[in-house]
Structure 1
Amino acid sequence: MKILLLSEDRLRVQGGAGPLSVEADSAEMTYTPGHMLASSLAVCTYSVLHSWATNADLPADDLAVEVGFGYVEKPHRIGTMEVSLVWPSLPAERREAAKRAAGVCTIHRTLHAPPEITTVVAA
């Protein structure tokens, strides 16, 4: 599986043999915490959809998931995320079902109902 950094606020996850890799077109592009959050959503969505496709007997070799994100202020944080399912071979009549399946991703659900976060200082 590959995580491809497309820009400072967008990435793509696509399948492939071998270990997980993070790649960019430019050595100057940094894998930021924003990319890390977006990639967790993208990898989770990709995994759920790949499993769903296998069970539905649909080809998923050309499946990729792109996630873009934007910042907002007060407080400064990621305030928007957009998930794009790039799946040329997906039949048109299965698109709505694929969108529903994507929503089953644990990270997707977590972002819709955020957990309580506790910070502890260990001495």
Structure 2
Amino acid sequence: MVFRPWAPNAPSATARNANNVPKVKLDLFMKIKLSGDRQLELSRFEEEELDITSKSPALYFSALAMFVASLGRCTYATLAVYGDRQDIDPENIRMKLTWQFAENPTRYEKIVMDIFWEQLPDSRIKAAQRVAHHCTIHNTIHDCVEIETKVFNVPR
């Protein structure tokens, strides 16, 4: 599924097909891969459109998965500002997010966010982990949802 958040009749210099949909390469979309019942992977954060895929037809991009993806995207924005200030390219950051639910009422209990940033020097890992905790969504939910954040400077 590809999500296109633009107005379909908006003027644009982009070539369009017969259905008035811009002709773009698929690799220009932010990638969201549903890799399990309660797991997703994110990459290519700078793109304006979404490419949502899943390992199984049984997996779909629900509102609950969208919420977790929003936490990942918000965290990326915070890390990108940090990377720019430290002259560390954030373009290839990738994330794997998993979550657990509590019951009565059903709600998020824990979200684990593994962040993979190859260009990050060893000396900056702890700082990047602290920075990741400053996104607005994290600040909004940290009192009621356990969020475990780990930063790695190895490929994912």
TM-score tier (shorter): 0.7 to 0.9
Retained in 2: the 8 A contact 1:12–1:42? Answer: no
Who wins on radius of gyration, i.e. which is larger? 2
- Let me know the Cα RMSD of the aligned residues: 1.8
**Identical counterparts, % of pairs:** 28
Q: Structure 2 CA distance, aligned partners of 1:25 and 1:54? A: 34
Does residue 1:3 correspond to 2:38, yes or no?
no
- Give the letter aligned to residue 42 of structure 1: G
Question: Where does residue 118 of structure 2 map in the other structure?
Answer: 88
Retained in 1: the 8 A contact 2:36–2:55? Answer: no
Q: Structure 2 CA distance, aligned partners of 1:73 and 1:7? A: 20
Question: Where does residue 98 of structure 2 map in the other structure?
Answer: 68
Aligned ranges 1:9-20 → 2 under 5 Å: 9-15=38-44, 17=47, 19-20=49-50
Structure 1 window deviating more from structure 2 (75-84 vs 22-31): it is: 22-31
Question: Where does residue 119 of structure 1 map in the other structure?
Answer: none
Q: Structure 2 CA distance, aligned partners of 1:84 and 1:41? A: 12
* CA spacing shift, 1:12–1:103, aligned 2, 3 Å: same
- Give unpaired runs (5+ residues) of structure 1: 115-123
TM-score by length of 1: 0.81
Q: How many residues align?
A: 114
Q: Which has the higher helix share?
A: 1
TM-score by length of 2: 0.66
Retained in 2: the 8 A contact 1:69–1:79? Answer: yes
Question: Where does residue 102 of structure 1 map in the other structure?
Answer: 132
Question: Where does residue 53 of structure 1 map in the other structure?
Answer: 83
- Give unpaired runs (5+ residues) of structure 2: 1-29, 145-156
Structure 1 position 113, deviation (Å): 4.5
Higher RCO, 1 vs 2 (CA within 8 Å, ≥6 residues apart) = 1
